[in-house]
Structure 1
């Protein structure tokens, strides 16, 4: 019987394919076993590492809890003893207070802090809502024979009065027109060292008003080389800290706390320390320190 060569070629090819399939299956079976072993080793290694990380994490949480407890105790101690800590801290310092929002005025509390630290109060001025009143501005210009066209002109004029011998009488004129409230002014107001700006708000952040009043005041006081510290209370619904910080002045966001009062005293006595201090996320640290 004649056998076609194609039959041999197909048969031989089939044999080789069968052998190839057999080898491949065998290899894969062996590979799967090796792979399973490798996977088991990796999983075991990951389990061990996870346990190590868990132990490390537990230790860190325990350490953090301990540090938090110590931190809270330290703050509590400072808050409870702040009067003793700040006593004589402002001795021989003559400090002015300016509140730029008559609807959120806590300047008397700031006066108490200065007094407790045995500092002197140079003046306590509250800028009223009438500061933008054009009619009153014109009346003042006529009365004093000066040119005041804008709110910025008037705010700068207030700061200028604080370096004039007859500044008190000029400020009294401003009070008469209800442009400011002059809560207090000392006979030694000309020699003031620093100014505390009280900020914050209970309603909304008025950036336009801030630029007109606060920024103008800050720029004018900087020209006179005065140390400026802006403060607010922890319960301020609207924080002004960010806006003050942009003007490169020191801020304290918790002046109603004992530790905030310590920060205030440090900032008033050490002009070279500049930054944002307190409890807000924007604060660089809780207390002022030399960098």
Structure 2
């Protein structure tokens, strides 16, 4: 009996199907073997990398500990010796400090200046009331019956205040500014000043105030041929140093640190420049190895 054609077709399909299944099963088994080998290889490499990173981490920790230890030694050295570095460098110099904003206190500056031999004549803090022309007019100018030549009450008041401090002569207007709380003064306005320190920096940005107060103080001091330097703390939220540089005075931006205090004294001794740690600084500290005259020539 001759087999039916359908039988042959089914047989051939079954043979090829079995062959395909066999190939698939064989490939799958080989693939699984390859994957297992790859996993083992990846695991070994990851373990090797982890060991390397772990060792590198230990080395970095050791380096950090060494750097921190070295930093602590330098800090101890500076804290122990900085007063001796500045001692007597400003002997007999009469200094006044004007804080143009009440956001930050600069009491530590007076201490290092006294160690350097300077006389702190007075420390003046300008309050926010000084920025109000209405208050100045009503509480100062009208009460004192001062004639108004122009509408620049704030600038006029700052000019007279600066003149009064530098000349050591307390005027009626300045006395009234103290009485009404426009300014706070520690010390007396009774001696001429050789050097003026303007202390800036504020908790928030006030560009108008910089021009209304700080620039007027600087311009007034320059017109009187008085030396002036700008300072602020390292952690001031809004820095005045860039503006002070534009106003062409020397600056120290980290005066709250011992390094900054040394920089202040050395700069006042005759080493003009911009010192500190902020982007506006040009050097960390003046080169004390050079005398003031040679230092100025080198710059």
The verdict on a shared fold, with TM-score over 0.5 as the criterion, is: yes
CA distance in 2, matches of 1:26, 1:56: 45
- 2:295 aligns to what? none
Instruction: Report the TM-score when normalising by structure 2.
Output: 0.69
- 1:19 aligns to what? 19
User: Aligned ranges for residues 254-273 of structure 1 at < 5 Å?
Assistant: 255=256, 258-266=258-266, 268=268, 270-273=271-274
- 2:41 aligns to what? 41
How many residues were matched structurally? 267
* Offset at residue 117 of structure 1 (A): 1.7
Structure 2 segments unaligned to the other structure (5+ residues) = 223-227, 246-250, 288-299
User: Aligned ranges for residues 1-291 of structure 1 at < 5 Å?
Assistant: 1-90=1-90, 95-101=95-101, 106-107=106-107, 109-119=108-118, 121=120, 124-128=123-127, 130-131=129-130, 132=132, 133-134=135-136, 135-139=138-142, 142-143=145-146, 146-151=149-154, 154-155=157-158, 158-159=161-162, 161=163, 168-169=168-169, 171=171, 173-178=173-178, 179-182=182-185, 183-185=187-189, 187-189=191-193, 191-192=194-195, 194-197=196-199, 205=203, 207=204, 210-211=206-207, 213-214=209-210, 216-221=212-217, 223=219, 226-231=228-233, 240-245=236-241, 247=243, 250=251, 252=253, 255=256, 258-266=258-266, 268=268, 270-276=271-277, 287-288=284-285
CA distance in 1, matches of 2:89, 2:10: 105
Question: 1:143 is paired with a residue of what secondary structure?
Answer: coil
CA distance in 2, matches of 1:74, 1:21: 77
Question: 1:242 is paired with a residue of what secondary structure?
Answer: coil
Cα 1:49–1:246, aligned 2, differ >3 Å: closer, same or farther? same
Cα 1:147–1:105, aligned 2, differ >3 Å: closer, same or farther? farther
**Is contact 1:101–1:199 with CA below 8 Å preserved after alignment?**
yes
Cα 1:104–1:16, aligned 2, differ >3 Å: closer, same or farther? closer
Cα displacement string for residues 88-134 of structure 1 (whole angstroms, at most 9, x for unaligned residues): 44468664311235696554x43222121234557532324542433
Structure 1 segments unaligned to the other structure (5+ residues) = 233-238
Cα 1:157–1:27, aligned 2, differ >3 Å: closer, same or farther? farther
Cα 1:223–1:140, aligned 2, differ >3 Å: closer, same or farther? farther
CA distance in 2, matches of 1:213, 1:288: 29
CA distance in 1, matches of 2:73, 2:122: 36
Please, what is the CA RMSD of the aligned residues? 4.0
**Is contact 1:198–1:230 with CA below 8 Å preserved after alignment?**
yes
Question: 2:232 is paired with a residue of what secondary structure?
Answer: strand
TM superposition outliers: structure 1 runs of 4+ over 6 Å: 282-286
